């Protein structure tokens, strides 16, 4: 298994792009990659994974699962070429030999999750079901993010947690030898919270139930089914959030699962940056194969289409329980819209790049239900409002909303945007720099490695003009 490498902090400057054209392979889905490694470690026998995202977040999860006793190897298949359907990353195949449900072992060292909130919360759920003590930490950004949203329900299964104030890492997790099945009604629609509880419930004798005020991403449920786990879902329950209905999922614990092949679809959250770039740069025409179009992940694409985006879906199919399609995107004149709060769970990671689209659209775009953005890798709500304002775009942040008035960035003087270790903020403002006469720099492009390691190289190959620079040379 490859070791995790961290590059020295470097900056990047994005200037006006020529038309973006061609066929681009988007990295594998980050959420599904995490779950593939975890489930492979819990299965008996060999799980083969193609299309795994090679970003730092996912590699952290791979390292942690190996520390817990799973055997993980990365191999190269000679002569295996990308066929436009399955993103095999040039022939890379990851093989995971699992230990079975309940078979993981005590780690010998601290588990460092880097910048990965998804990895940290899912692994916390896993560790809560094992009768040993583990220690978890992360980088400066992750150590500032709340873990109490998973600590509260997981404590009810019999596990104990010791952490810093407000549920922050570093954290000690002492699992229970007899995890209790849990019925938990979550106050928020969060795939991370739901998945942490379901992973704990996989080890409990009986049925574990999670009820959400609205349906969050269902990658865990789909992955469980792919491995033969008994999963029961009810939708349309009364009493949900405005414009939505409650969602209930039940998992029957202590299954015997065996290894399965997994082809990870391309990540729609990563594809979002290419989609918006093509929509905003005149003359652009991109083909993006094998994009995941899970109905609970396509809120951004739905919103962009309401704004007037020209996005076509072809070759629809299913991979490992996940719906996928090839996307064809052409430059479009966008108009502002009102984005309802109930759509937030299906596009929570895409609001930064949606704000960029809104900044270049005609009229005003109002986005509601954004309180969750304050506890992501950074306070994304403030970061987007402040960054857009610095670029001459009128933007107003409320307690849980963002209003952006279009017209594009103003002026031609280069400007630097601080990203605060947030990969999506960095990529979003590099996209904005492609659209006008004002070069836009980000102070730390290395943050992008957590989810999209070759973002700059890929974009430049399509027609972008992004230059890596030293921080000392920033405007």
Q: Where are the domains of the chain?
A: 11-27+266-473, 30-263
* Cα–Cα distance list, 88 to 50, 54, 92, 291 (Å): 5, 11, 6, 13
CA distance 203 to 112: 23
Q: Quick one: which H or E segment has residue 365? A: strand 364-368
State residue 475's pLDDT score: 74
Task: Spell out the residues 6+ positions from residue 299 whose beta carbon is closer than 8 angstroms to its own.
Answer: 343, 344, 345, 346, 347, 350
State residue 452's pLDDT score: 92
State residue 170's pLDDT score: 97
* pLDDT tens digits along 36-86: 999 999 999 999 999 999 889 999 999 999 999 999 999 876 544 433 333
Low-confidence ranges of the chain (pLDDT < 50): 1-8, 79-90
Residues with catalytic function: 349
CATH class of 30-263: alpha beta
Task: Supply the pTM of this predicted model.
Answer: 0.87
State residue 255's pLDDT score: 96
CB 201 within 8 A of CB 208: yes
With the C-alpha atoms ordered 461, 357, 13, 283, is the resulting torsion angle positive or negative?
Answer: positive
Share of the chain above pLDDT 90, in %: 81
Same fold across 11-27+266-473 and 30-263: yes
CATH topology of domain 11-27+266-473: UDP-n-acetylglucosamine1-carboxyvinyl-transferase; Chain (3.65.10)
* Cα–Cα distance list, 402 to 156, 452, 454 (Å): 36, 26, 30
Share of the chain above pLDDT 70, in %: 93
State residue 404's pLDDT score: 97
Helices (H), 73-138: 117-127
State residue 86's pLDDT score: 37
């Amino acid at each position: 298994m490859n070791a995790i490498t961290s590059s020295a902090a470097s900056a990047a400057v994005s200037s006006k792009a020529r038309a973006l054209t061609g066929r681009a392979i988007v990295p594998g889905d980050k959420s599904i990659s995490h779950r593939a490694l975890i489930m492979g470690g819990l299965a008996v026998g060999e799980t083969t994974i193609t299309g795994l995202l090679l970003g730092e977040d996912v590699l952290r999860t791979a390292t942690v699962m190996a520390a817990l006793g799973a055997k993980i190897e990365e191999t190269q298949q000679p002569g295996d070429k990308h066929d436009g359907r399955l993103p095999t990353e040039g022939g890379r195949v990851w093989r995971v030999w699992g230990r079975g449900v309940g078979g993981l072992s005590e780690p010998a060292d601290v588990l460092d999750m880097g910048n990965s909130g998804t990895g940290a919360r899912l692994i916390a759920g896993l560790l809560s079901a094992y009768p040993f003590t583990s220690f978890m930490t992360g980088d400066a950004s992750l150590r500032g993010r709340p873990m109490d949203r998973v600590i509260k329900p997981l404590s009810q299964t019999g596990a104990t947690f010791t952490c810093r104030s407000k549920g922050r890492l570093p954290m000690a997790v002492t699992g229970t030898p007899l995890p209790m099945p849990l019925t938990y009604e979550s106050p928020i629609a969060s795939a991370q919270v739901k998945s942490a509880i379901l992973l704990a419930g996989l080890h409990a004798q009986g049925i574990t139930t999670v009820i959400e005020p609205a349906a969050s991403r269902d990658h865990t449920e789909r992955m469980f089914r792919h491995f033969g786990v008994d999963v029961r879902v009810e939708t349309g329950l009364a009493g949900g959030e405005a414009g939505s209905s409650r969602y209930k999922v039940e998992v029957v614990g202590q299954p015997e699962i065996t290894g399965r092949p997994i082809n990870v679809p391309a990540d729609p959250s990563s594809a979002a940056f290419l989609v918006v770039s093509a929509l905003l740069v005149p003359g652009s025409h991109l083909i993006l194969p094998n994009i995941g179009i899970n109905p609970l992940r396509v809120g951004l694409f739905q919103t962009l289409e309401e704004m007037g985006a020209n996005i076509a879906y072809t070759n629809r199919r299913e991979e490992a329980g996940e719906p996928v399609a090839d996307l064809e995107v052409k430059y479009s004149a966008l108009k502002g819209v009102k984005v309802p709060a109930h759509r937030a769970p299906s596009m929570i990671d895409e609001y930064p790049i949606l704000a960029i689209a809104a900044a270049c659209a005609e009229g005003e775009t109002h986005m509601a239900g954004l309180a969750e953005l304050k506890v992501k890798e950074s306070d994304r709500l403030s970061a987007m409002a402040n960054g857009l304002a610095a670029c001459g775009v009128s933007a107003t942040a409320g307690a849980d909303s963002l209003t952006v008035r279009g017209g594009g960035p103003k002026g031609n003087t280069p400007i630097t945007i601080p990203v605060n270790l947030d990969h999506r903020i960095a990529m979003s403002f590099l996209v904005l720099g492609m659209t006008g006469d004002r070069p836009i720099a980000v102070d730390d492009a290395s943050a992008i490695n957590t989810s999209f390691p070759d973002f700059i190289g890929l974009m430049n190959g399509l027609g972008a003009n992004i230059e890596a620079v030293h921080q000392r040379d920033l405007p």
